[in-house]
Amino acid sequence: LEHPNIIPVHDFGYFTGGEMFFTMKLVQGRTLKDIVRGLRKGEPAVHAEFTLVKLLSIFVQVCHAIRFAHSRGVVHRDIKSSNVMLGDFGEVLVLDWGVAKVLGRAENVGDSGVATLRTQNADATMVGVVTGTPAYMSPEQAAGKVNEVDERSDVYSLGALLYEILTWRAPFRGKHFRQILAQVLTQAPIPPRKRSPQNNIPVPLEELCLACMAKRPDERPAHAGAVIEAVQGYLAGVEDLDRRSAMSEVKLEEGIDLVEQYRRARGKVTTLRETLMDLEWQVEGWAGPERKRELWSRQAELAEYESQMHQRFSDAAQALMAAIGFNPGNEDASNELARLYWFKLREAEDAGDEGQIIYYRALVEAYNRGMFDDLLRGEGRLIVRSDPPGATVEASRYLEVDLQLTPLTDEQLGRTPVNNVPLQHGAWQLKLSQAGYRDVVYPARIDRGEVTDVVCRFFTDEQ
């Protein structure tokens, strides 16, 4: 069997005492079993080097070796993690072909049953009617049905190997090999995602693993090539997902930068509008061109910055939507887009534009992933202090009645100092009462997510 993933045998012969020997390539490295043990122990270096994608690429190479052997009419019969060697230079080699079966050739199994000096070790290879390693062997191998062992028996063992790669544990465990054989014959393996929920095992890989380990050979994938196709299909999806995730991050960074540019342009527009308002008060309508030149210059500058602001908003929204399109699970992009729409919602609220309020609130809610939960509830905080302290505080929210703001919905807030009381955003009237002093009526505006701090001083009638 000459294949890049099968350790080559250079020579063989017999010692003078009659024992057979093989001369094979010397490979230095670790077995897959060593790697799985390191993962199970939580060794940082092993976790950093052997990601799931890398382990699956190793598994695919094992499958290629087995597929090649099957094409030559050879069944391995002892596929397990300790028989997979990982060389120091990226080699993946399937070892120990000593119990392999050549299909179509009669096998003399004798009457000895399980006869080997190694049968007391549940992880060791057994030779006899039952051949292989209990935790990895197919039910037909465990039952000693030698004539039923074929390529699909190795497919089962590949499934058991995949199980160990996914869960970091063999599919069946027991103190003695006979306990494990009984489990192989009568029990289904615990599903990988249930066995090791902390490993976040992908559903398609669990399904493939369990399909390979079906008790009936005709319910398993027909050959190792089918297993290869399934794993490569998953890896192709992961590669595309990684590519899309990387593109999503690129677009997110672009969007964050554009949001910041929009925020700066918005601040500049606000400043220019205030400056322009002052100039409009200062320059009379009948003034000549010399007096109006600065006003016109500011108006042109404002128009330019408003155009920039609208363009940056559009560019930022498109970049962040692209980030979400590449990766719908990118919560940072969703929250950043919600933040962009939040700016617009606040503008609409300041302008009292009900239609825009409804529109942008819906967009904030659609993209919010937790960042704006408190703000969307529309609450702010109120602090009330008085001199002297101990005054009772009554709060009434202003609501529109007959086109007039009227204080309604009285709420008793307790005695001063009142600290961090949550109130719905909007206009409120506070009434503070203190024995021996005149009542104080104070208007207060509560903004979303903001703290309004009110300080009142009482006066007597004489004062």
| Active-site residue set | 78
Q: Look at residues 88, 175, 182 and name the one whose alpha carbon lies nearest to residue 143.
A: 182
Is residue 435 left, alpha or beta, with left meaning phi > 0 and alpha meaning psi from -120 to 50?
beta
Pairing of strands 404-415, 418-424: unpaired
Pairing of strands 92-94, 392-401: unpaired
Count CA atoms within 13 Å of residue 288 on its CB side.
1
What are the start-end ranges of the H helices in 168-212?
Answer: 177-186, 192-195, 203-212
Rounded distance, CA 368 to CA 341, Å?
10
Rounded distance, CA 451 to CA 459, Å?
26
Q: What does the DSSP assignment read for 212-267?
A: HT-SSGGGS-SSHHHHHHHHHHHHHHHHHHHHHHHHHHHHHHHHHHHHHHHHHHHH
Rounded distance, CA 132 to CA 177, Å?
11
Pairing of strands 451-457, 379-387: parallel
Rounded distance, CA 441 to CA 456, Å?
9
CB 231 within 8 A of CB 56: yes
Burial of 205 per CB tally in 10 Å (0-12, 13-18, 19+): buried
Q: Look at residues 438, 311, 424 and name the one whose alpha carbon lies nearest to residue 386.
A: 438
Q: What is the dihedral sign for C-alpha 148, 152, 158, 159?
A: negative
Side by side, which strands form the sheet with 451-457?
418-424, 379-387, 451-457
Q: 394: helix, coil or strand?
A: strand
Q: Look at residues 227, 223, 209 and name the one whose alpha carbon lies nearest to residue 73.
A: 223
In angstroms, what is the C-alpha Rg of the chain?
38
Q: What is the dihedral sign for C-alpha 279, 280, 283, 288?
A: positive
Query: Which amino acid appears at position 101 of this protein?
Result: K
